[in-house]
Amino acid sequence: MSTTLYRGGAVVTPAVLAAPGSPDAPSALLVADGVVAWVGAADEADGLADAADAVVDLRGALVTPGFVDAHAHVLDTGLARAGVDLAACGSLAEALAAVHAAATGAVGRRLAAEGSPLTGWGWAEDAWPEGRPPTRDELDAAAGGAPVYLGRVDLHAGVVSTSFAEVLGLATLPGWRPDGLVTGAAHAAARAAVRDLPADAREARHRGALEAAARAGIVAVHEQSTPETDTRAGLAALLALTSDPGSALPLVAGWRAELCETADDVRALAAAVPGLAGVGGDLAADGSLGSRTAALRAPYADAPTGWPHPAGRLALTAEQVSNHVASATRAGVPAAFHVIGDRALDEVLLGFRVAAEVEGVDAVRAGGHRLEHASMLDAPALAALVLLGITASVQPAFDDAWGGDDGTYAARLGRGRAASLHPLADLRAAGVPLAFGSDSPVTPFDPWGAVRAAVRHRTPDQRLPVAAALAAHTRDGWAAARSGGDGAGGPLGAGGVVGSGQATGAAAAPGDLAVGAPAHLAVWRLAAGTTGPDGVLPALRPDEPLPECVRTVRAGVVLHDALG
């Protein structure tokens, strides 16, 4: 048995999350063979130190459950890290300069050697003085005619160079515009080409993304795979890469966005991708607000003259949703849908209600089904989520990045509609299960940033307490994946110990720092004076630095270490 004692800090246990002000947090934790074996106070830790294989002096650091990112795109994140970062560009001119520098520098040479186009990620025209994306003529000039793809920040639109478009025949596909802007089928084809990598390059992209997640204190990621972004075999390879904690990578729970009509379709998909967590995920009912492709009840406030779909458009019908949910329920596999706009949510929830009429409400409630994003929820939609037991997998960073009176959402929808987006407090008050994610690379792996975005929501009455937001990004992420917590944990036998030596027979939930749970944890340095009134959890005030991750541990295996 291998044991590590962490001592001299503050440990965020279930009791701390349940009542952040009381009692005082334990100061020590013992990990034995990848499982939390003991949690307690400093005087008790003294008696365990001599027998432990390793003793870690926390020097006042905070120990939390490891974060779970409930919605991410691992390959896209790796690709973005290997391409040109356009997120910080303050103008179209800066973006074109960045493309030119990359095309004529080391990035362009490396991608050319791999046979890959030059890629850039994260542009958003809203904040640029030019108010528009690059054109393909401008990309041709900036890159010297090389093939180029630049993905918009929401990954629902892109711009391409002439050579890239011609090789793929994008001009013949729906969603092509002569200026090089691509959406719909043309964008899907462009993204598929960008991901067409040799196996070794693909694995390098996966590892790069997951190592970045580990540095952010993340121990598990819910991958949202689609036929446009990866193959079944590619997803299976990613799941196999991380299935063992010995990989020293965060665990990947895989969702596959393939529409199913029968339970046999679901079973066949699950058989083709061993370890699949669910069918759906980024199974899109619509697009995004930023690209004006989310399906709305009322038109966009800023749709340009001649915009082909002034209120966005649906990508799925209620009948398709119903068949998918009923089939997944019957096969015992969770279903999930990407849904942003209120019109799309109406259609998806209609499909869920029809499936419940066929399969029974109790069966659907037990299915573990999810909605990804679910940005535009009203009271009837909240009631439907409660009735049907649907989890909301949400991204608080979206509100921080694009919310507020002067943000992208207000421009697209008008301030009144924008103020109702991402109703986190309403979801929590209604009892809807929440799980937080980043949608990386749409927003980066930054879990404390997401927690702060929930705590400092731009609509004040939708703000969450720090403890509730932390739980949604840790323990509740395991629940949203229907995960047993990396294969460890489970009910305790008599004599299990919690806190100061009290016995318990309760089950240890994955994602909790409690005896019998897998040792998924992260260690954080907090700047002086940044804790809240309880002196344990950070206050996450807007002008203060976020906690710094100095160690990430999955089932006892260290994924990232900067403790020194």
pLDDT at 494: 25
pLDDT at 113: 74
If phi > 0 it is left, if psi is from -120 to 50 it is alpha, else beta; for residue 59 that is left
Cβ atoms of 480 and 486 closer than 8 Å: no
Residue 412, token pair as written in the block: 């697209």
pLDDT at 298: 97
pLDDT at 117: 87
pLDDT at 500: 31
Read off the pLDDT of residues 507-541 as tens digits, 9 standing for 90 and up.
Answer: 678 899 999 999 999 999 999 999 998 889 999 99
Q: How confident is the model at residue 22 (pLDDT cuts 50, 70, 90)?
A: low
Alpha-carbon gap, residue 468 to 438, rounded angstroms: 17
Cα dihedral 257→259→265→270 (10° resolution)? 10
Q: How confident is the model at residue 195 (pLDDT cuts 50, 70, 90)?
A: confident
In the chain, the percentage of residues whose pLDDT exceeds 90 is 80
Alpha-carbon gap, residue 373 to 156, rounded angstroms: 14
Q: How confident is the model at residue 194 (pLDDT cuts 50, 70, 90)?
A: confident
In the chain, the percentage of residues whose pLDDT exceeds 70 is 95
pTM of the model: 0.90
Does the domain at residues 3-66+484-561 carry the CATH identifier 3.20.20.80?
Answer: no
Cβ atoms of 522 and 448 closer than 8 Å: no
Alpha-carbon gap, residue 18 to 269, rounded angstroms: 39
| Least confident span in 42-51, 234-243, 376-385, 511-520 | 42-51
The CATH architecture assigned to 75-194 reads Roll (3.10)
Does the domain at residues 256-480 carry the CATH identifier 3.20.20.140?
Answer: yes
Cβ neighbours for 513, distance < 8 A, ≥ 6 positions apart: 11, 12, 13, 14, 29, 36, 39, 63, 64, 65, 521
Alpha-carbon gap, residue 512 to 506, rounded angstroms: 12
> Which helix (H) or strand (E) is 158 found in, with range?
strand 158-160
Alpha-carbon gap, residue 503 to 496, rounded angstroms: 5
Could you write out the three-class secondary structure of 465-512?
A: CHHHHHHHCCHHHHHHCCCCCCCCCEECCCCEEECCCEEECCEECCCC
Read off the pLDDT of residues 245-285 as tens digits, 9 standing for 90 and up.
Answer: 999 999 999 999 999 999 999 999 999 999 999 999 999 99
Residue 469, token pair as written in the block: 């937001």
Alpha-carbon gap, residue 43 to 532, rounded angstroms: 25
Cβ neighbours for 274, distance < 8 A, ≥ 6 positions apart: 236, 239, 240
Three-class secondary structure of residue 331 per DSSP: helix
pLDDT at 493: 26
Amino acid found at 357: E
Question: Does 310 have pLDDT greater than 70?
Answer: yes
Question: Does 189 have pLDDT greater than 80?
Answer: yes
The ranges assigned to domains in the chain are 3-66+484-561, 75-194, 256-480
pLDDT at 88: 86
What are the DSSP E strand ranges found in 264-382? 278-279, 336-339, 370-373
Cβ atoms of 434 and 462 closer than 8 Å: no
First and final C-alpha spacing in the chain: 25
pLDDT at 507: 60
